[in-house]
Structure 1
Amino acid sequence: MKNSVIFLILLLIPSFLLAQTGNIQGKVTYQNQPLPGVNIIIEGTLKGSVSDDDGFYRIENIPEGTYSFKFSMIGFKSAIIKIKIISGKTVLLNCNLETEIINLNEIQIIDIRAQRQEDTRTSLISIKPENAKLLPGAVTDVFRSLGALPGVLSPNDFTSQLVIRGSGPDQNLIVMDDIEVFNPYRLYSVISMFNPEAVSDINLITGGFPVKYGDRLSAVLDVTNRQGDFTKSFKGVIDASIISANVVLEGKNPFNIPGSWLINSRRTYYDLIIGSFVKNAGLVDENVTFPNFFDVQAKIALGPFENHTFFLNGIISRDGVELISAKERKTPDSLGVFNKTKNDLAGFAWHFAPNKKMLNKFVVSWYRNQGDARIDASLLDPSVNRDDFEEFSADTISQYLLGMYASGDFVFEKYSLENKLFLQWGDKNEFEAGIGVDFIHTKVNAELDIDKQVLDNLELYLNINNSIEDLSVSRYYNKYKVWADNKFKISDKLYIQPGIRYDYYELIEKAALSPRLSLSYLLNPSTTLRGSFGLYYQSPGYEKIIDQARAFNLSKNNTTALKPERAVHFIASIEHWLNEQWMLKSEMYYKKFENLLVQKIVKGISYYTEPVPGKDIFSREGWTRPVPFLSDSVTQVPINNSNGYSSGFEIMMEKKKIKSGDRFAGWISYSFAVAERKENGSTYPFRFDQRHTLNIVANYRISEDYDIGLRFKYGSGFPFTHPLNVQPRVILKDSDGDFIPDSPEIATRKTGSSGKETVIYDLNYGKDSQKFNDRIPAYHRLDLRFTAFADYWGLDWQFYLDIINVYNRSNVINYDYYVKDDLSIGKETVNMFPILPTLGFSVRF
């Protein structure tokens, strides 16, 4: 409420009180070609800008006077130009830079990507690719680097998926070079598709994103792959560690064709190193392949040709695993897994800039994500303690083993056309509009063959048997979008950006209209206030929900009644520069979720039994005959029957490297957040509800030859569900010979040398209203990275030691529960990464 009043007062401030200022704009070039990513700083002030893909830059609200403008970029000689700014005028200043030969060990990472005052976007975080590469514990992965930012969580150490402000990974929009990507994860979410050596911009909007982004409820990650170096015919970098290798090659186009090319490839070798170790230990059979991944990405820039520039993008990616457990395993159960996943992308973009105030982008793309998987397992009954069955053969304890076979495949394919227009008009306003269509094909097949006792248990106690069915669905559908917004410069201090978006989702035959509004106000030269409000919609689709661990049947009969999921965002922020290097930022947010997709509940049959007084509860006679009663049962049918909210407060203080002599950079952030869901009349915490999160990131340049980085994270525990008690297992028997199980009875198995029949007990987790009834212990981890810089054979080298979990904290990911012999509940802790050192190097040539 207070923030609303402040913004209202600011709207009423008369413009004649505002300072007299002017603007400057221009183009940065090298050999008459546009030069993107150049830093432009007004020396002695906090103001600055970065040239865009076409070399253009603009700095506004500069008080009248004479200033020195510094143009700098790694690999080029800096240029300093003194010029006078006149009130009410826009000065044109172009700059042509020259190349400079430098050594890597002389380079300081300079992070000056401060958000411009006129940028009305709230919750925007821009990080430099160099920072993503050097962040300790991030394994040179963009997604894992984002986990150190406020409002961003990762479910556990083993995945790079992003949980942002109380929303799941499926509610985040991932965009690469103006192309939406369904599955940005590789190697089963261990790493992401983005190579920090090959990207130029990483922009994360954790809420309140503008209307050019849609069909997601929570956040946007917009990544731009960089162009190749058009100053040299050939150059490259090789980065290798004990787990992966990365090669990037680039250069200017041949035959005097304007533009550049860049190609990069990555390959993990868990299968070569870890696989050999495990095979030699006899834990798996010889004819297996451990998880492996490789990809090839390329970007070609052609132009500019008289205001026209063309871009070609391509990605080929493969990852998979083939695993069969060997007879030498300690436990008698066995597991066979086969999985292959492919991600392919092709894109063409045409950028047309007839003048400095207009840019039109036309993008056509094709994207396909497909996979094939099989699981064939004989697993120990989940009710028993696995440690009690070490060194037993499968033949001697077959009554404790349960069989399961599952196979499936999927294809998500998309053809897209989109046109975007950017226009500056009146010298004070910026208009953006776009129109596009996606032609989508999704196909999902799943076949299940599960042990009857497992199915009975799922049906009678977990009430999900109706969702454990074979599935085969293939759908073709289109999505249409039209959007427009305009940033109005009300005064030198106040900017307002209203926007509207229209989406039509053919899968559900529904349309959605999304109004949004954002604004920024310069309270003083060091302080900017921002606020945003908006409606956000998300359509159902297998490309979004496949990671939810829920089975949905999206056949036509089940989707026509669905509505798009809906969220409302309210965000207010304040950003204050303590000086030219230290920045303090704080945000408050509230997200309301409606019409969330869940599985339909129908009435099913469960069975109740109770102990017979004076009888042995380990024998079938110690329990009454099971009596049926009506209970809820989950199906594969999707319905809009859940809602919720997330709210929170975030604060971050950041130290940036502004000058070349700066040695220290980093940030500290704290987040308080609450996220809840309501489903089927029950309210419970969101599964990734983390109330308190602390991040500390620091980098210190010890000398020209050595660098040290630190990353510490603390997070309060996620919710989890622990069992309430134990109960006898009830199974259905065929009592009349018609091959239809219809008679409930207490399940038993033979135990001991006497072969006595003993009742099988299962864990009872209670009803839906009782889930997430506890929290795992708090998570905390310290990572360090030591980097040495050297110059050998005329090449720039980096050697690094990255240590994950320095003090070997046992962070809990989950608990495995089992029934003890005395019917009490036993617990085994499953932990995340132990201390994990990694050695690596990179060389530039």
Structure 2
Amino acid sequence: MNIKIVIFAFIAFLLGFASFAQSARVKGIILDINNNPINNVNVSCSGSTSQSNANGFYLLSVPASQKLTVIFTHVSFKKVIVSLTLKTNEELEFNLVMNEQQEQIGEIIVTTNNKKRVQGITIIAPEVIRKIPGANAGIENILKTLPGVNSNNELSTQYAVRGGNYDENLVYVNEIEIYRPFLIRSGQQEGLSFTNTDLVQNVDFSAGGFQAKFGDKLSSVLDITYRKPSEFGATFEASLLGGSFSVDAVSKNKKWTAITGVRYRNNSLLVKSQDTQTNYTPTFADIQTNMNYQASAKWQWSFLGNISQNKYQYQPLTRQTKFGTIDQPLALSVYYEGEERDKYETYFGAMKTTYEATPNFTLKFIASGFHTLEQEHFDILAQYRLGEVDSNIGSEAYNDVAYTRGIGSQLNHARNDLDALIINAEVKGFHDWRKNEIEWGVKYTRESIRDRVVEWEVIDSAGFSINPPIINLPKNEQPYSSYEGPLAPYQNIRATNFNVINRFSGYGQWSRKGNLGTAEVSYNAGVRLHNWEVSGANSKGDAQFTFSPRAQIAIKPNWDKEMVFRISGGLYHQPPFYRELRAADGEVLPNVKAQQSVHLVLSDDYSFTMWNRPFKLVSELYYKSLTDVNTYTIDNVRIRYAASNVAKGYAQGLDLRLNGEFVPGTESWISFGYLKTEENSNNRGYIARPTDQRLKFALLFQDYMPNIPTVKLYLNLVYNTGLPGGSPSYSDPYLYQNRLNDYRRVDVGFSKVFIDNNSGKSNSNWFGNFKELALGFEIFNLFNNQNAITNTWVRDVYSKNEYAIPNYMTTRVFNIKLSAKL
């Protein structure tokens, strides 16, 4: 680990361990309807009183084992009375939104969920994210169980939403846009997602029809908020795949708060379960911190920083993959020489300040920088033997290759290096004016990319070099006649690009709540503007401009059944990022236009009670009309763009999600999605796009033993129909419209909870210092399904055939996990 990481860690932990905060029985954050903290709220119960501070935070000690009445009062807001019953030593986090218009009385927890429900945002609880098992556990692991979100690669954190690809999703942390490395080509190289789940407070997700305040992408928005700790705390987790550690801290005067997390991951356990036997030495590590400072009642400052270092060393040894049919089984045996050495280092820092000029006017300024240094170096020689498998059970050579159909070799070489620096500066304004909410923002982005691409591939079949498919060469009639054409690699890309992209973007939107007869109505309308220009060492593009209007209307009728109907959509653009400008030959084309999509989303949220427990059914019908499409191919997670706008397309589908307490006290859900997305390039006709995942079914389920409630079960099940893909490199997609097999995966976890917040453990022994302590056992790919991500194409010059050998993902893997919270 280099000196930058050491210095960063020392400063973060020095600030994080500033002091200890005092414990409390009832604690929380009090906000107004605009999510601004409310100061000086009087909180009283049974003679005990407390007041919220400038952050809206309060602490209150209350009697246990009896029904309590907690009263919240403020001169500018209506009184709130809440009835609660707490156990001995229980610490309840009660976050409250105070309203100026009406009084709230009863045994309730007041949150902002209703507002997000109107906006069509899916809310995911951080506790669910941390507990649900998965080969790549985290936020993305949970997103893949939602309807409309698809992935057939458990080693990757990337996901496709409603027909889009991995580059069409916005990710924000604390309103700051997050970027990911450029060169990663396979899921096993990714290592860690940016988001540290130990630091998360809120996770909101929108799969389409989102508001103008979010950026210029075509598919989805993942909006994450990190916690502001209220007291000292620490979490720890260790498993066979790595570990994590985080610390919460608060200064004595409550003005400083810090939360810092360190993570380490090693995917050897998963990768070694694949067909390829390897010497695999990966190290994925990062350190991340979020610090906040309440300078005054009007000024707030925060810093978000992250340093990650992913080293991927891969030395394949042998591989044997069996395929074919029962009566004609085939096998591919491969022997390797060489290795791959990849390295991805990213440095990210962002400063954010919030100034409350008046009670009705707030300004925010955000500045961020992202620097990535990436190298992708490999020389791998693969010598293969393709043959028929001896299926005679009594034979001494049973299950071995008995007859060889073809032999050959393949040499891959790469020396790819990239250095990218992205700088952002943004100003936002928020106004409350006569029951109207007005929000606006202006942003400048500068992207500086230095990229060198050198990669080639040579393929030999039975001693004869295979010509590249993309250039015209004399026909090879060997061995019957001599070949007079030049010897050329099957693939050859060489390019050096120094490019700068300057972007100016802005938005304005208006929101209002009202009534239409007896129904409640919410309105939102806005527009985004984006101007950019690409310049390079040898070329300069034209300045381009997009205009994107968007709108939402939500109606909640005054019915006995609680339902919210919503229609949303607009014109969405995706100005090209660097990868979308680089063509298959490595050349950057600066005048590639923004892809354009018209969204229309119709949805219904139906909340009801079943088995005396709350449930919600969300139904969404959507359609996207796509123009100026920049076509692409996907190989594992690597996307290669055509860098042109010669196609049009569409995406349409239906998403259903039923969530609720299938088991009392736990949240589970069932998801179903139907999707059809096609494109028409150069008027050749409509074909399936690479992300055309027709059907999707997912189940996320939590349970516990009735007689032993501390033993819990977590189930994560995903079924996706096969994607188009697995075609040879540089092939014409109109000639290869085969689909991979269906993706089926079940991950299950069992957990024994020794201590939790409600266990009532005393502090008389060492274990009493823990708030939570659990030991888990996980089984990944429970039913040992063979899921393919791509195909390896083996050529045989004698039979003139090409064989598609599936590249299978991970098999069944066992993991043990220990988690604790102080």
Q: Deviations over 1:352-396 (max 9, x none)?
A: 124543332111111112201111122236x955999x999xxxx
1:678 to 673, 677, 680: 680
* 1:54 and 2:37 matched: yes
Larger Rg: 1
Relative to structure 1, is the Cα distance of residues 551 and 534 closer, same or farther in structure 2, using a 3 angstrom cutoff? same
Deviation at 1:575, TM superposition (A): 0.7
* 1:403 and 2:408 matched: no
- Whether the 8 Å CA contact 1:77–1:100 is kept in 2: the answer is no
Which runs of structure 2 are paired with 1:201-600 in the superposition (5 Å)? 201-227=202-228, 229-232=229-232, 235-253=233-251, 256=253, 258-270=255-267, 290-325=281-316, 331-380=334-383, 384=386, 400-426=408-434, 428-451=435-458, 456-459=467-470, 468-491=492-515, 493-507=520-534, 508=541, 509-524=543-558, 526-542=562-578, 551=584, 553=586, 555=588, 558-560=589-591, 562-579=592-609, 581-598=614-631
Q: Which residue of 1 aligns with 2:747?
A: 783
Deviation at 1:316, TM superposition (A): 0.4
Deviation at 1:270, TM superposition (A): 4.2
The count of residues paired between Structure 1 and Structure 2 equals 688
Between the aligned partners of 1:36 and 1:500, the Cα distance in structure 2 is 39
Q: Deviations over 1:694-713 (max 9, x none)?
A: 11212124344222122222
Q: Deviations over 1:10-59 (max 9, x none)?
A: xxxxxxxxxxxxxxxxxxxx99x9x997599xxxxxxxx9994635999x
Between the aligned partners of 2:490 and 2:804, the Cα distance in structure 1 is 29
Deviation at 1:119, TM superposition (A): 4.7
Deviation at 1:769, TM superposition (A): 1.9
List runs of 5+ in structure 1 lacking aligned partners: 1-29, 41-48, 59-70, 601-634, 723-762
Between the aligned partners of 1:108 and 1:707, the Cα distance in structure 2 is 25
Q: What is the TM-score of this pair, normalised by structure 1?
A: 0.72
- Whether the 8 Å CA contact 1:75–1:101 is kept in 2: the answer is no
2:153 to 144, 151, 156: 156
The one-letter amino acid paired with 1:811 is: N
Deviation at 1:506, TM superposition (A): 1.8
- Whether the 8 Å CA contact 2:270–2:810 is kept in 1: the answer is no
- Whether the 8 Å CA contact 1:765–1:771 is kept in 2: the answer is no
Relative to structure 1, is the Cα distance of residues 83 and 840 closer, same or farther in structure 2, using a 3 angstrom cutoff? closer
- Whether the 8 Å CA contact 1:586–1:652 is kept in 2: the answer is yes
List runs of 5+ in structure 2 lacking aligned partners: 1-20, 42-51, 63-67, 96-106, 321-332, 391-398, 476-487, 535-540, 634-639, 756-765
Q: Which residue of 1 aligns with 2:775?
A: 799
- Whether the 8 Å CA contact 1:120–1:519 is kept in 2: the answer is no
Relative to structure 1, is the Cα distance of residues 107 and 225 closer, same or farther in structure 2, using a 3 angstrom cutoff? closer
- Whether the 8 Å CA contact 2:204–2:223 is kept in 1: the answer is yes
Q: Deviations over 1:823-845 (max 9, x none)?
A: 66655443323222211111122
Secondary structure of the residue aligned to 1:224 is strand
Between the aligned partners of 1:578 and 1:380, the Cα distance in structure 2 is 61
Deviation at 1:112, TM superposition (A): 7.8
Q: Deviations over 1:515-538 (max 9, x none)?
A: 111111112361111111211111
Q: Deviations over 1:639-669 (max 9, x none)?
A: 2112211111111111059xxx943421112
Q: Which residue of 2 aligns with 1:751?
A: none
Secondary structure of the residue aligned to 1:444 is strand
Between the aligned partners of 1:55 and 1:838, the Cα distance in structure 2 is 45
- Whether the 8 Å CA contact 2:130–2:137 is kept in 1: the answer is yes
Between the aligned partners of 1:171 and 1:113, the Cα distance in structure 2 is 34
The one-letter amino acid paired with 2:626 is: F
Deviation at 1:226, TM superposition (A): 1.6
Q: Which residue of 2 aligns with 1:688?
A: 691
Deviates most, 76-85 or 235-244: 76-85
Identity across the alignment (%): 19
- Whether the 8 Å CA contact 2:598–2:624 is kept in 1: the answer is yes
- Whether the 8 Å CA contact 1:375–1:407 is kept in 2: the answer is yes
- Whether the 8 Å CA contact 2:441–2:508 is kept in 1: the answer is yes
2:127 to 126, 130, 135: 130
Between the aligned partners of 2:136 and 2:58, the Cα distance in structure 1 is 24
Q: Deviations over 1:462-497 (max 9, x none)?
A: 999898430111112211112111112242611211
The one-letter amino acid paired with 2:218 is: L
Deviates most, 121-130 or 495-504: 121-130
The one-letter amino acid paired with 2:342 is: N
- Whether the 8 Å CA contact 1:216–1:537 is kept in 2: the answer is yes
The one-letter amino acid paired with 1:437 is: Y
Deviation at 1:815, TM superposition (A): 3.9
Deviation at 1:107, TM superposition (A): 10
* 1:166 and 2:163 matched: yes
The one-letter amino acid paired with 1:230 is: S
Between the aligned partners of 2:437 and 2:259, the Cα distance in structure 1 is 32
The one-letter amino acid paired with 2:78 is: V
- Whether the 8 Å CA contact 1:112–1:656 is kept in 2: the answer is no
Secondary structure of the residue aligned to 2:811 is coil
Secondary structure of the residue aligned to 1:529 is strand
Deviates most, 586-595 or 490-499: 490-499
- Whether the 8 Å CA contact 1:527–1:575 is kept in 2: the answer is yes
- Whether the 8 Å CA contact 1:141–1:191 is kept in 2: the answer is no
Between the aligned partners of 1:425 and 1:92, the Cα distance in structure 2 is 23
Between the aligned partners of 1:595 and 1:209, the Cα distance in structure 2 is 21
Relative to structure 1, is the Cα distance of residues 819 and 414 closer, same or farther in structure 2, using a 3 angstrom cutoff? closer
- Whether the 8 Å CA contact 1:385–1:818 is kept in 2: the answer is no
Between the aligned partners of 1:662 and 1:304, the Cα distance in structure 2 is 44
- Whether the 8 Å CA contact 1:36–1:54 is kept in 2: the answer is no
- Whether the 8 Å CA contact 2:285–2:310 is kept in 1: the answer is yes
- Whether the 8 Å CA contact 1:594–1:643 is kept in 2: the answer is yes
